[in-house]
Structure 1
Amino acid sequence: MISGTLKGLALSAAIGLATLTSAAYAQDVAGKKIGIAAREITNDYNRDIIAGAEKALKAAGAEVVVTDGGADPRKHNENIESLINSGVAGIVVQLGDAQQLAPVVAKATAAGIPVVTTSIGSKTEGVLADVGGDDALMSAIVSRALLSSIDYKGDVYVFWVPGAPILETRKRILQAMVADYPQVKLHEVPTEHSAARVQAQMEDILTANPEPGSVAAVWGAYDLLVSGAVEAVRRNDRNEIKIASIDGDRVGFQMLLDEESPFVATVVQDVPRIGSLAAEVLLKGIAGEKEFASTLFTDAWLATHANGVASAEKRWGAGIWDEMFIPRADVEERWEQNGELIVVHPILP
């Protein structure tokens, strides 16, 4: 009871702080235009960062303009330049590469327009801060869960998109962990931001490895990407293969909580908070503040079959079952809910 009360108080305090932050800087942005430049808007992760930032900025009285680069880095940069040329008061950038963004950030800085990035994985020169999940920490958590599920033995196929900074970081942590387990063999499968492409690649892998046990596990850089591998595994009746990834999207929970699912874990991020925290930093920057930590992180937790109900409701609220068309009672009957939900957060000095 005491623990629950403290958690409630902490949540109320966090909500109150975000509201106070928006109100405190309302005079600085009231009626002004602020841009949110998304590299792409394809999944819950993208949409919820935008929603979190948009809500905080509108609460401060700003007019919000959202651009979509359609997963094209060049178009992404062009959109940011267009926002700069339109005279926005500030910009939140979602996804990208620090080197690729540096020239347009420099233009924004020269024009006196503060910029905050989200989910770049490092600070781009000239921005106030980069806000996101701690990708190294999240990868360590999900990689530990997946390796444990196969008792640190067997062939593991690794799906990621080369050149995507945070995905490269996630893969690099997996590689470092596997170095301690000589009975695990990683097979890198470079792919595209396409579940259909991953499904086709996984079909080829299963065809080449028809014997049960010849593929121990699949590691995916994020939920939507690896959903194609889950589909291929299920279609080929190879549910002995364990699969895990990162983000905690709705599709991740649908895979996790489905009957006889080979998907065993996902690291869930507090994605809306990435957006709202980025907005709070930007509002402070517009007001003239300059001192921020280079990188700021939000909460994360591991969702498994054993804590899936609590994990889903923490991320999405009690209405998630209607949204996913999955009865909560069915999940509780399917998977015993005896696992603890542990929230992690990097501690910064």
Structure 2
Amino acid sequence: MTIRALRLAAAAGAAIIALAAAGNAADAAGGKKIGIAAREITNDYNRGIIEGARKVLEAAGDTVVVADGQADPRKHNDNIENLVNAHVDGIIIQLGDAQQLAPVVAKATAAGIPVVTTSVGAKTEGALTDVGGDEALMGTLMSRALLSSINYQGDVYVVWVPGAPLLETRKRILEAMVKDYPKVKLHEVPTEHSPAKVQSQIEDILTANPDPGSVAAVWGAYDLLTSGAVQAIRQAGRNEIKVASIDGDRVGFQMLLEDGSPFVATVAQDVPHIGELAGQTMLQALDGKKEFPSSMFTDAYVVTHSNGVAAAEKRWGKDVWKDIQIDPKDVTARWPQDGSILVVHPTLP
């Protein structure tokens, strides 16, 4: 499956999830009705959280209804308010800004509806907890891998979406690290949640910087977004440029393990467990529990050429090779699989 096909599959998967959820809500009887409000459903990360939560909640006999904000923060908030007005029993919010979410979360709590957020990056006032990856930790791991690949020197183009809290955190970590390496120069490439737009932006940058070495690397905020940069680099024949990002989506593994790809690292998250923890928290809240940690974190690990086969199967199972249309034997022939998977988790008191 090509990168473009994986993108199309992501869009199709989003529609299927929303329709299936609506059908479940209409047909199911008994149990609680839990709303999941996703800011967008565009990639494996979004779908993984939803499916993780769905698995836990439906196993408990509850019904799940999914609302897709389509990457529009206003629509996202409207969806949450609509769930409140529909008198659901609980709401799980995926992505968003804690300050922007606070007013609608307040409406939910005023109506006696418990709220759990996922991947907001901070606790929203009124929410029980925020579940996600440790963004500062993952940002450090990915930025370290990318900077090391260019020997801590050269021009690095930073692709992110301004105002997206998790992406802003990841970018701030890079900026802090680079202060120790004066030979690294960062160039901001603000964009939208669109791989096609990123591809066009990087094509323009490569046209303006045609000489080998004039662009050392592209730092991408997340895998699907970064796929546009990889496409531009490969089409320009500039595979000396290094690229890395975060999430461990299937498109990330495809970019990493394809022959000749400039993509050198991703940080894989235990995305389904984010949803599972959110679902478990919701069940506990509905059962009367009131006190929860402000934040809950899941595991992550750096994926490179040297551990790519084991990491792909750890994240996606052995069927991943059919999805990304790569033979693991070819990967092993290109890169010795002698790297270990080092799972990291924040240690809290």
TM-score normalised by L of structure 2: 0.91
SS at match of 1:344: coil
**Could you tell me how far 1:30 is from its partner in structure 2?**
5.5
Show structure 1 runs of 4+ deviating over 4 A.
none
In the TM superposition, what whole-angstrom CA distance separates every residue of 1:273-329 from its partner, at most 9, and x where no partner exists? 000001111111111111111010000000000100011011001111122221111
Partner of 2:204: 204
Q: Indicate whether 1:45 and 2:32 are aligned.
A: no
User: What 5-or-longer segments of structure 2 have no aligned partner?
Assistant: 1-28
Q: 1:145 to 1:151 in 2, by over 3 A?
A: same
In the TM superposition, what whole-angstrom CA distance separates every residue of 1:228-253 from its partner, at most 9, and x where no partner exists? 11001000110000000000000000
Partner of 1:230: 230
Partner of 1:57: 57
SS at match of 2:306: coil
Does structure 2 retain, via aligned residues, the 8 Å contact 1:123–1:295? yes
In the TM superposition, what whole-angstrom CA distance separates every residue of 1:81-104 from its partner, at most 9, and x where no partner exists? 111111111010000110110011
Tell me how far apart the structure 2 counterparts of residues 318 and 201 of structure 1 sit (CA, whole Å).
35
Partner of 1:278: 278
Tell me how far apart the structure 2 counterparts of residues 30 and 250 of structure 1 sit (CA, whole Å).
36
Partner of 2:309: 309
Aligned AA (1:119): S
Tell me how far apart the structure 2 counterparts of residues 326 and 228 of structure 1 sit (CA, whole Å).
20
TM-score normalised by L of structure 1: 0.91
Q: Which stretch shifts more, 285-294 or 182-191?
A: 285-294
Partner of 1:160: 160
Tell me how far apart the structure 2 counterparts of residues 224 and 158 of structure 1 sit (CA, whole Å).
15
Q: Indicate whether 1:289 and 2:289 are aligned.
A: yes
Partner of 1:216: 216
Aligned AA (1:323): D
The aligned runs of 1:298-337 (5 Å cut-off) are 298-337=298-337
Does structure 2 retain, via aligned residues, the 8 Å contact 1:54–1:64? yes
The aligned runs of 1:123-202 (5 Å cut-off) are 123-202=123-202
Tell me how far apart the structure 1 counterparts of residues 165 and 79 of structure 2 sit (CA, whole Å).
20
Q: Indicate whether 1:240 and 2:228 are aligned.
A: no
Tell me how far apart the structure 2 counterparts of residues 189 and 324 of structure 1 sit (CA, whole Å).
28
In the TM superposition, what whole-angstrom CA distance separates every residue of 1:97-139 from its partner, at most 9, and x where no partner exists? 1011001100000011000000000000000000000010000
Partner of 2:11: none
Aligned AA (1:259): D
Aligned AA (1:303): V
SS at match of 1:107: helix
SS at match of 2:36: strand
Partner of 1:262: 262
Aligned AA (2:238): R
Number of residue pairs the alignment of both structures matches: 321
Please report the RMSD computed on the Cα atoms of aligned residues, expressed in angstroms. 0.9
Tell me how far apart the structure 2 counterparts of residues 82 and 157 of structure 1 sit (CA, whole Å).
40
In the TM superposition, what whole-angstrom CA distance separates every residue of 1:15-38 from its partner, at most 9, and x where no partner exists? xxxxxxxxxxxxxx9522110111
Q: Indicate whether 1:36 and 2:69 are aligned.
A: no
